[in-house]
């Protein structure tokens, strides 16, 4: 399989296109050729493979993939924060309007709107439904962060960050409309 075909397969799974066939092809390919894809794909697409496991794997695969996805996405947030807090503000104006290239086909968050946190919280909510008590704690923790956190300096530049990115109806966010 070519890189382009694998990327198209991931996009099909995100959209829910030909789901049964796409799942079989995806899991067969990424499991059989893991070493190849680890060498050939950029970080962006390696994370997309993990995210696809978070969406379509069995229970343990979903749980473990979600942990990896969370780690990767938190690094993205942290790296975006570093861009905002550097003494050199040459990219600040652009960052507040758009995204900035970080490394290996990974871009910063778009401060005024980025789908990564939405998708991340959607995935976490899906998993949390199986553990209602943990979900209650999770919702409270999010609420407290909303009140107390400076979110790695992002809210200094865009005060509505928490409301717009993390809290507006994420439980009902639809993955179909957000393919890579």
pLDDT tens readout for residues 11-25: 999 888 889 999 999
- Spatial distance between the Cα atoms of 56 and 168, rounded to a whole number of angstroms: 25
Structure confidence by residue, pLDDT tens digits, 37-49: 988 898 889 999 9
User: For the chain, what is the mean pLDDT?
Assistant: 80
Q: Are 108 and 64 in contact (CB under 8 A)?
A: no
Range(s) of the domain holding residue 69:
3-177
Tokens of 111: 């401060």
How many separate domains does the chain show?
A: 1
Please state, for a pLDDT cut of 90, what percent of the chain lies above it. Answer: 22
pLDDT at residue 131, rounded to an integer: 83
pLDDT at residue 172, rounded to an integer: 45
- Spatial distance between the Cα atoms of 179 and 176, rounded to a whole number of angstroms: 7
Q: Collect contacts of 21-25 with beta carbons under 8 A, ≥24 apart.
A: 23/56
Residues of the chain with pLDDT under 50: 170-180
pLDDT at residue 2, rounded to an integer: 95
pLDDT at residue 164, rounded to an integer: 67
């Amino acid at each position: 399989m070519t890189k382009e075909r694998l990327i198209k397969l991931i996009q099909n799974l995100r959209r829910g296109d030909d789901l049964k066939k796409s799942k079989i092809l995806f899991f067969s390919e990424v499991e059989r050729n893991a070493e190849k894809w680890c060498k050939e794909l950029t970080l962006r697409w390696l994370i997309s493979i993990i995210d696809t496991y978070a969406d379509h794997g069995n229970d343990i695969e979903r749980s473990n993939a979600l942990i990896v996805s969370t780690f990767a996405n938190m690094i993205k947030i942290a790296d975006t924060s570093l861009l905002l807090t550097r003494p050199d503000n040459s990219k600040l104006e652009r960052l507040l309007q758009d995204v900035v290239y970080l490394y290996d086909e990974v871009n910063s968050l778009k401060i005024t709107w980025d789908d990564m946190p939405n998708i991340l919280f959607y995935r976490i909510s899906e998993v949390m439904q199986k553990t209602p008590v943990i979900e209650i704690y999770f919702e409270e923790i999010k609420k407290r962060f909303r009140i107390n956190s400076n979110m790695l300096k992002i809210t200094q530049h865009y005060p509505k960050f928490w409301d717009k990115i993390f809290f507006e109806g994420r439980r009902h966010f639809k993955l179909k409309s957000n393919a890579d």
